[in-house]
Chains A and B, each alone.
Chain A
Amino acid sequence: MLDFSKNYFELFGLPVGYILDGDQLAERFRELQRVVHPDRYANASDQERRLSMQGATLINEAFQTLKDPIRRAHYLLSLHGIDTDVEKETTRDTAFLMGQLELREQLEAARHKADPYAAIDELVTDINQRITSLVGQMALQFETATPEQLEAAREILRKMQFLQKFISDSEELEAELDELL
């Protein structure tokens, strides 16, 4: 069925690269699902249903991967033969790490603020801006993708992961606060 050896970009008929048009990606995703999704094969043979399930699963995964700037960076690096291990790598940029420590303290302090939600909101907005700026830097590295640039991309990715983790932790804190209401 779907050629599973194709990379995710090829699957959607898009050029391999970090910058991509989100609307176009979503459009291609829907077009593909329209012909592959199990709903199109609900009355077909078991075999076709199986194939359709595999295909739809792959397309969903490909879409989720390319849509997300962090997962997309991971994936692009892996296409360049660089497998980043999320769990084990950390940035050595001490200034960045110091900044992170500070943000963590602010998040912890937000809990005790008069309006903790507003405080968290403010922090998350700040973090999202930082991620956006890293996305821009990331795009530059993949333009020509020399070995040095790929190494730089990897470093940017490590930082993005830090910030991502911060956002999910702040969401957890919000859920925790909800519980107390």
Chain B
Amino acid sequence: MALLQLSEPGQSTAPHQHRLAAGIDLGTTNSLVATVRSGKAITLPDSEGRHLLPSVVRYTEQDAIVGHAAKAAAATDPLNTIVSAKRLIGRGVDELKSLGNRLPYEFRQGETAVPRIHTVSRDVSAVEVSAEILKALARRAQESLDGELEGVVITVPAYFDDAQRQATKDAAKLAGLRVLRLLNEPTAAAVAYGLDSESDGIHAIYDLGGGTFDISILRLNRGVFEVLATGGDSALGGDDFDRLVAEWMMQQAGIRDDADHAMLRRLMREACDAKEALTDAESTTVRLELEDGSHWQGELSREQFNALVDPLIRNTLGPCRRALRDAGLRPDEIRDVVMVGGSTRVPRVRQRVGEFFTTEPLVELDPDRVVAIGAAIQADILVGNKPDEEMLLLDVNPLSLGIETMGGLVEKIIPRNTTIPVARAQEFTTFKDGQTAMAIHVLQGERELISDCRSLARFELRGIPPMVAGAARIKVTFSVDADGLLGVEAEEESTGVKASIEVKPSYGLTDNEIEGMLRDSIDHAADDMAVRRLREQQVEAQRVIEALKGALTDDGDELLDADERQQVSLALSRLEEVAQGEDSQRIKDQIEALEKACEFYVERRMNANVRKAMSGHSVEDFE
């Protein structure tokens, strides 16, 4: 295989060249991809000019079809057409049942807790379905940008727990994408509006989509975003508006409740068109072909429409009020309200939300695209296209993390809304004489009882030397990285016995499973895992080489003496040489060797940066 990575645009070794990155809004109903082009963030359309990609995947015996074509088949082939995979991701079968979703799918339990949906193609997990959507969006971006993406930012709801975040990241891995960061959707919307600069204060993000409603209260303090409260209703959205209009039409036209499916579909479509028409018009004409072939025609004014949907809008204000109370705020303390989601186009929604928060809502950006646009802006910064960018998003973990203690209670180790990354340790002890093992049960949630919290993982610390009860000192350390993903480590301090896990949540996939899925997935059927691995190593090598060369140009002369510089250069040229070859293991080893050789330099650079940042107001000498 040719070294196609090395010769393609956007992959050049020249430092500070524009790198290709994208922001992806992986939505429940629709998904979008956006990128920054000539300094402006735009969403990318498909070849037919459509920006929204329905988040629907239809599995046939040969293929996985994504988007509009799959959505069109949802009614005729419901069992093989997966809609709203986002509602399923990172969840177990039991949880899906309790979600109360009337899902038509046939669930199968695999070897692990991850539920799979039976289709004519094979049994697929929500992670794989999401991966298909991500692949379709990445393909769109790569065709439009004419090059490989170096990385993506994917948005997730602020309330997503560890399992759901991890599963989203797994989907990206499966799609062959490098995730620069998982970003909270409301934060992305705020970034899109440029609220990072000189907009200190409290902002509300009102997100009314097709089938879900979310409200988030964010505090912004000089580029530091803090999620103060979130709330919503996972079964309330624009589709409900359509349903009410359709019911009104049935009443007016004298259509019976037991009308056939074709009739109901026509009704819903007409209702949706009427709703959209009323965004600009004061009144609209609705027409319907009845079952007897005759036509009915009626007039719906905006006033009538408003009266119909007012109860639904009121239902969104309840969660707003609750979220404000959680945050300890009054509506008039909100500085801006950002409108997200197609349903916020409805003028009545804007009006009522504006009245509630006593401020004119921000509607300048397309509410369907605002999240993707924010993600693209952040992706552009993270990939390194804006080295002088001042903005820094310091997100928080949305839910408290803790472990089970005696009596089925949860002891919180990291409270919610702690700025990430964060690491916290807590000491525990044995409660029986001679106890040599300790079970550690990791939970997420705000409540005291374990039964009210989400179980994330269980693991065991073994090999504790026998001691009297209470003598062992077991330190459990939780760490949450910048994506909000958790790692847990336990150590008996007097002996140093350790157990650690990267929390692969109870409903997560193992690395083996992901590899298996890669092998299964249709796109890679003809592909060879070895080829894929080689490609990955080559890309990684290229990234390391590029980063190091850039660093040497910036401050190599300043921070390294001649000997050190030679040492680094030597390891660098070795990697460059090996990276031309086709032995993925050798490339991997050489990357490690290079990183080892450069360790002192990397540390020196970071220290130099810190020193630069702190220079001028230091009470003592930094070294």
Binding site for B on A (CB under 8 A): 1-3, 10, 12-15, 26, 28, 30-40, 42-48, 51-53, 55-57, 60-61, 63-64, 178
Contact = CB atoms under 8 A, between A and B. Distances in A.
A13 B617 contact: yes
B393 A1 contact: no
Contacts of B547: 43-45, 48
Nearest to A16: B619
Interface residues of B, number: 49
B382 A45 contact: no
B610 interface: yes
Consensus secondary structure, chain B interface: mixed
Contact of B421 (A34, A48, A51, A56): A56
5 contacts: A1-B602, A39-B381, A39-B382, A43-B150, A60-B421
A2 B544 contact: no
A31 B620 contact: no
A10 B622 CA distance: 9
Given A30-B222, A34-B392, A42-B181, 12 more contacts: A1-B607, A2-B610, A3-B607, A13-B614, A13-B617, A35-B613, A39-B392, A39-B393, A39-B482, A47-B595, A60-B422, A178-B325
B479 A42 contact: no
Counting chain A CB atoms within 10 Å of each CB, the highest count among B393, B595, B623 belongs to B595
A98 B186 CA distance: 47
Contacts of A60: 418-422
B392 to A, nearest CB: 6
B481 interface: yes
B19 A43 contact: yes
Nearest 3 interchain pairs by C-beta: A42-B382, A13-B618, A35-B609
A60 B606 CA distance: 17
A132 B597 CA distance: 52
Contact of B384 (A10, A15, A43): A43
Given A13-B618, A56-B421, A42 B606 contact: no
B151 A42 contact: yes
Contacts of A40: 392
A28 B222 CA distance: 12
A66 B602 CA distance: 28
B419 A64 contact: yes
A10 B423 CA distance: 20
Counting chain A CB atoms within 10 Å of each CB, the highest count among B599, B606, B617, B620 belongs to B606
A52 B151 contact: no
B392 A36 contact: no
B543 interface: yes
B623 A30 contact: no
B361 interface: no
B614 A1 contact: no
Contacts of A46: 595
A3 B614 CA distance: 14
B613 A31 contact: yes
Interface in B541-596: 543-544, 547-548, 595
A123 to B, nearest CB: 15
A55 to B, nearest CB: 7
A34 B389 CA distance: 9
Given A39-B482, A42-B382, A64-B419, A47 B602 contact: yes
B157 interface: no
A73 to B, nearest CB: 19
